[in-house]
Amino acid sequence: MTLFEPLADDSGRESARPLPERMRPRTADEVVGQQHLIGPGKPLRRQIEADELGSMILWGPPGVGKTSLARVIANSTQCEFVAFSGVLSSIKDVKAVLVDARRMRKAGRRTIVFVDEIHRFNKAQQDAFLPFVERGDIILIGATTENPSFEVISALLSRAKVYTLEPLDEEQLLQLQLAALHDAERGLAAHAAQIPQALLVRIATHAGGDARVALLALEALARAASGTTATEELLRDVLQRRLPLYDKQGEAHFNLISALHKSVRSSDPDAALYWLACMLEGGEDRLYIGRRLVRMAAEDIGLADPRAVEMAMAAVEAFRLVGEPEGDLFLAHVAVYLAVAPKSDAVYRALGEARSDVRTGPARQVPLHLRNAPTKLMRDQGYAEGYEHAHASDDALVGMSCLPEGMEGKRYYAPTRRGIEDRIAKRLEEILEARARLRARRPD
């Protein structure tokens, strides 16, 4: 037995395998969906038909056909084909195959190495593939549900074509289900279950673009309704409750919090509630959501409504007190409040500009008149000389500059005319005018 044994023949125990595995497409024509990649005349289809493949990364959510497409390629090519799982395989196993592949290439035979969940290999482990891909010893096909930009090393990414697979739509999921129901060889025809179209639509909706979820639900329903007609009640028992596709450590986590934040910023409370609900149903850490809501209050509402931060902080504390699921309502209150609140990022932008000046500008000294002078030596050096104590004047305004020398008159904060910040803007205008008058009265 070698590392290059053909794919196992499971025909003798076909019925014991899950339906999604049994119904995998065997040729490109059997693939449902992904026609933007393997439709007639498409580049990947032409590569498969001409047996002129290059290394590639198949990127898409679960159940859209990444492994199936790799199997189609395996069935259509003259290359040796070796499959690995990023979860189950060790890098030692991989290296043994890579060495064998190099030896076979010298003998004139090509090898496709398929790595499912390639993102499970860390960056150092992925390095093992690089020299073999560079020399052309192997054609690497990696499959991942995570964004390759973050999960695949750049050197490997630059040598592979990334193909993005899309979730299947309801019509495509219906097509898969009907094919499985009527397939006597690999499918469910032997169960003789009558499943109304409406229930198939329900399964397609429930699957959320995931063919594996749809076929597993269909198989469970067909078994439960064997020889009879499936009912709505039976389908409910089969489906139970499915959490939305959500990986708290993966890209979906960042995509959803981004959608929530941008919905709040765009003053869309309905969208904010929807994305919040996705995170709550997906089991997201409520305190993480709370921290992000506090950030939104400061970053996007700011001084247009100073109560926004208070509301966000209060919601976090209220959640700590009440807990799940009742405490989720406090997060919803804040999401809606922030969405409808007047918006200002004036302070956010002002701080960013000030920090940029500090990072890139010259190191500036604190003016002498702003320094404390607790000792005689410091007073003799001019510390605190010329300092004007604001509370000594009736309106608590002074004409002195508090910025470093050479930056007098620099403006960072430019309040908007929205919400409370409109009043702040008017007050700031009064302050600036008063300071100008006070400076004008100073003797030269």
Confidence of residue 173 (pLDDT cuts 50, 70, 90): very high
Say which amino acid occupies 125: Q
The domains of the chain are located at: 11-164, 170-239, 251-340, 367-441
Q: How far apart are CA 200 and CA 232, in angstroms?
A: 11
Sequence-distant (≥ 6) Cβ neighbours of residue 311 within 8 angstroms: 297, 333, 334, 337, 338
Parallel, antiparallel or unpaired: strands 139-144 and 161-164: unpaired
Q: How far apart are CA 27 and CA 18, in angstroms?
A: 20
The confidence score (pLDDT) of residue 9 equals 45
Mean pLDDT rounded to a whole number for the chain: 86
Q: Domain 251-340, CATH 3.40.50.300 — does that match? A: no
CATH architecture of 11-164: 3-Layer(aba) Sandwich (3.40)
Residue that the structure tokens 């329900």 belong to: 202
Is the link from the previous residue into 325 a cis peptide, with omega within 30 of 0? yes
Which one, of 106, 48, 47, lies nearest residue 74 by Cα?
Answer: 48
**CA angle centred on 171, ends 169 and 172, rounded to 5°:** 65
Confidence of residue 444 (pLDDT cuts 50, 70, 90): low
CATH architecture of 367-441: Orthogonal Bundle (1.10)
Confidence of residue 250 (pLDDT cuts 50, 70, 90): low
Listed in sequence order, the DSSP H helices in 139-225 are: 148-151, 154-157, 170-182, 197-207, 211-224
10 Å CB burial of residue 155 (0-12, 13-18, 19+) is middle
Instruction: Answer yes or no: are the C-beta atoms of 275 and 317 closer than 8 Å.
Output: no
Q: Is pLDDT of 308 > 90?
A: yes
Question: Of the ranges 8-17, 76-85, 96-105, which one carries the lowest mean pLDDT score?
Answer: 8-17
Parallel, antiparallel or unpaired: strands 56-59 and 161-164: parallel
Confidence of residue 306 (pLDDT cuts 50, 70, 90): very high
Instruction: Answer yes or no: are the C-beta atoms of 65 and 34 closer than 8 Å.
Output: yes
The confidence score (pLDDT) of residue 126 equals 86
Question: Of the ranges 57-66, 99-108, 134-143, which one carries the lowest mean pLDDT score?
Answer: 99-108
Q: How far apart are CA 365 and CA 360, in angstroms?
A: 15
Confidence of residue 8 (pLDDT cuts 50, 70, 90): very low
The confidence score (pLDDT) of residue 3 equals 44
Say which amino acid occupies 75: N
Mean pLDDT of 85-111: 77
pLDDT tens readout for residues 62-97: 889 998 998 888 888 877 888 877 766 677 777 788
Q: Is pLDDT of 242 > 70?
A: no
Tally of CA atoms within 13 A in the half-sphere of 20 that contains its CB: 18
The confidence score (pLDDT) of residue 355 equals 93
Q: Fill in the DSSP letter of residue 404.
A: P
The confidence score (pLDDT) of residue 2 equals 42
Question: Which of 14-23, 299-308, 320-329, 364-373 tops mean pLDDT?
Answer: 299-308
The confidence score (pLDDT) of residue 246 equals 55
The confidence score (pLDDT) of residue 7 equals 44
The confidence score (pLDDT) of residue 73 equals 86
SS3 content of the chain, % helix, strand, coil (to 5): 55, 5, 40
Q: How far apart are CA 219 and CA 233, in angstroms?
A: 16
The confidence score (pLDDT) of residue 89 equals 65
The confidence score (pLDDT) of residue 274 equals 93
Q: Which has the higher per-residue pLDDT, 397 or 296?
A: 296
Mean pLDDT of 370-383: 90
Q: Is pLDDT of 408 > 60?
A: yes
Q: Is pLDDT of 247 > 70?
A: no
Q: Is pLDDT of 54 > 50?
A: yes
For the domain made up of 170-239, give the CATH fold: Helicase, Ruva Protein; domain 3 (1.10.8)
